[in-house]
Copies of this chain bind each other. A is one copy, B any other.
């Protein structure tokens, strides 16, 4: 049976397997971070031998890069799926909300801010860097549109707003609030959206007077 179906089937098998590996990596990356994640754990989670991992991905760094790239692709897909008729600020809110919900569900590793090991390997990964640039452009356009709409402070440079939104998606206050166990995931997301876009200062437009 040299039929093309079989070959395609095999490739599909491979993709499914590798997707399962990336799922495991994604969870471990979110739970422990890159340095504390070991290849033994990944192999155990997937249910295969450690050596088999290396048949799919040549190194731990490549494995983590694949997970980060898939995450970026998912995010790009979500960003592009948003209704262009929606105001820019509402779209930015939706994007951050989506990222936070994914993260609360255990699916989002904290971005490689200072994690030198992973960061250094990612900046040399053309595919990853390309996706990041795509994301920066999409969000940067949204931010500038929101500024024109008067929905975002004009005295903040676009890059500052962009990095702030990135930072909020992996804000540690979410972890602390979750550990307290006092609030639902949805409440925590709402708190973070509020502090991000409105700040800690008082609500300036009290339709009904607060006291």
Contacts and interface: CB of A to CB of B under 8 A. Distances in A.
Interface of A: 32-33, 35-36, 110-111, 113-117, 150-157, 159-161, 163-167, 170-173, 175-177, 180, 182, 191, 194-205, 210-211
- When all copies of this chain in the complex are counted, the total is 2
Contacts of A200: 152-153, 156, 161, 164-165, 196-197, 199
B164 A195 contact: yes
24 contacts: A33-B116, A113-B172, A113-B175, A114-B172, A152-B200, A152-B201, A152-B202, A153-B194, A156-B191, A159-B182, A160-B173, A160-B195, A163-B177, A164-B173, A164-B195, A166-B173, A167-B171, A195-B199, A196-B199, A197-B199, A197-B201, A198-B199, A198-B201, A199-B199
A170 B176 CA distance: 14
B204 A36 contact: no
B160 A177 contact: yes
A152 B35 CA distance: 38
A96 B35 CA distance: 29
Contacts of A176: 113, 163, 166-167
Contacts of A196: 195, 199-200
